[in-house]
Structure 1
Amino acid sequence: LNYIDTGGSDRSYPPTVSFLRPGYIAHRCDQLQIGEQLTHVNNIAVQDLTHDEVLSILRNAGTEVSLRVEYDLNQPYFLWPPNSMRKCTDITLERDQDGFGLTLRGGAYGPDKNKSRPITITNIRIGGPAHKEGRLRVGDRILCINGVDVFSATLATAQKLLDETVHIVNLTVEYSVAVFENLHKESGPLIIELEKRPETDFGVRLKVEAQKVGSLSKRMILVDSITAASTADRSEIIDVEKTPKRKEEKGH
């Protein structure tokens, strides 16, 4: 597996995933996250075991290991950002030898609806299909997988749909768009800063058009199109047919 488990009944915190070695199975499976608490190994409860006892069970678990983990439902990625609106789009990913490169959490929890959360992307593996596609973000919510509605599904159901997809998956994704309430009250040139992500572009296509300004004809640079869920689309500042006066790149 090659992940580090710390904690135990003889320590100040329970068995916890503290490190995932890049390139190894525990990292590539997209099923584990650092900080999650380990509760069962192959159906053996480990919460009350010492650190060494947990490690011994893991070492002797065999070639296939079933792990059960607990995670915090109050993580920021489960919270919808303030001053934002919602948009949806479809994003297609092509599976690599390990999967689609994204980790899901949340889902319906029947015994206690207060513990239900939307199916949410909580991690994107660097170098995986989701990372290379470039538009998905931690905190995006999955509404459909290959046309199957997972809005009220359990995490196990959503994960099964992903695991059973052998080649290409189509995800219907809900994402947040930052809303600037006073934007429309402003006049004159506006400086826009966009955070540049290395794996993708801004998502803006520009065009040059001749437009009449009074009695003169001037060539103007206009926004021709915006890619759904791109950096530009996740802010309402930029819109089609608007004229960018100046664009500053902010490294990331």
Structure 2
Amino acid sequence: MNGSMYSTSNVVDIKLKRGPAGLGFNIVGGLDQQYVLNDSGIYVSKIKEDGAAALDGRLREGDKIVAINGIKLEGLTHNAAVELFRTAGEDVELHVQQKSSSHMNGPSGGSSQPKSDSHVSLGVLVAAVGAAAAVAFLYMRIQPYFRKHF
């Protein structure tokens, strides 16, 4: 679990009643299809307009679903998790770890998604390479001025 975006203080239980279009959201992730680096959890990828989840209003895109009807999703493949959602019945209780609002990107209700640490690492790497190139360029430009001739 990525502790920087999710904390145990943001865990909520959400009860949804399955509607004509299901529970009204899509999921991503799983043991075989990691959505967040080093985390095989199941995440909400999309809230469908006018679906059960949208009408309830508490589930958000990017939230991690920890359990459904008391069954933990940890260590399941994506297809196994999908099957649990399909067979969960009409009244469904979700145990959800919500993404803290301080880490949300863009306007609320948008399609913010958890970002992996690799995005940050890539930015730092690019900045470091740029700085090294600038120092090397300056060194090569001023080196002739400091050479001593004997």
Same fold (TM over 0.5): yes
Partner of residue 88 from structure 2, selected from 165, 168, 177: 165
Cα distance change on mapping 1:127 and 1:81 into 2, 3 Å: farther
Q: Moved runs in structure 1, 4+ residues, more than 4 A?
A: 79-82
Measured after TM superposition, the shift of residue 159 of structure 1 is: 0.9
Any idea what SS the aligned residue of 1:127 has?
coil
Identity %: 28
Cα distance change on mapping 1:104 and 1:80 into 2, 3 Å: farther
Measured after TM superposition, the shift of residue 105 of structure 1 is: 0.4
Number of the residue aligned with 1:95: 18
Whole-Å Cα distance in 2 between the matches of residues 150 and 196 of structure 1? 26
Any idea what SS the aligned residue of 2:42 has?
strand
Q: TM-score, normalised by structure 2?
A: 0.58
Any idea what SS the aligned residue of 2:94 has?
strand
One-letter identity of the residue aligned with 1:89? V
Number of the residue aligned with 1:126: 49
Measured after TM superposition, the shift of residue 196 of structure 1 is: 8.1
Per-residue CA shift, 1:104-142, capped at 9, x if unaligned? 0001129xxx67532000000000000000011000001
Q: Is the 8 A contact 2:64 2:99 kept in 1?
A: no
One-letter identity of the residue aligned with 2:11? C
Q: Is the 8 A contact 2:40 2:74 kept in 1?
A: no
Compute the RMSD of aligned alpha carbons: 3.0
Q: Is the 8 A contact 2:45 2:61 kept in 1?
A: yes
The correspondence of residues 26-45 of structure 1 with structure 2, limited to 5 A, is none
Measured after TM superposition, the shift of residue 166 of structure 1 is: 2.8
Measured after TM superposition, the shift of residue 89 of structure 1 is: 1.2
Cα distance change on mapping 1:81 and 1:124 into 2, 3 Å: farther
Q: Is the 8 A contact 1:142 1:171 kept in 2?
A: yes
Whole-Å Cα distance in 2 between the matches of residues 155 and 103 of structure 1? 12
Whole-Å Cα distance in 2 between the matches of residues 135 and 129 of structure 1? 11
Cα distance change on mapping 1:80 and 1:125 into 2, 3 Å: farther
Per-residue CA shift, 1:206-247, capped at 9, x if unaligned? xxxxxxxxxxxxxxxxxxxxxxxxxxxxxxxxxxxxxxxxxx
One-letter identity of the residue aligned with 2:32? Y
One-letter identity of the residue aligned with 1:154? T
Number of the residue aligned with 1:151: 74
Measured after TM superposition, the shift of residue 81 of structure 1 is: 6.1
Cα distance change on mapping 1:144 and 1:120 into 2, 3 Å: same
* Greater relative contact order, per chain length (Cα 8 Å cut-off, separation 6+): 2
Any idea what SS the aligned residue of 1:97 has?
coil
Q: Is the 8 A contact 1:143 1:172 kept in 2?
A: yes
Whole-Å Cα distance in 1 between the matches of residues 39 and 46 of structure 2? 19
Number of the residue aligned with 2:148: none
Going by fraction, where is strand more abundant, 1 or 2?
1
Any idea what SS the aligned residue of 1:105 has?
strand
Q: Is the 8 A contact 1:109 1:116 kept in 2?
A: no
Going by fraction, where is helix more abundant, 1 or 2?
2
Gaps of 5+ in 2: 110-150
Any idea what SS the aligned residue of 1:162 has?
helix
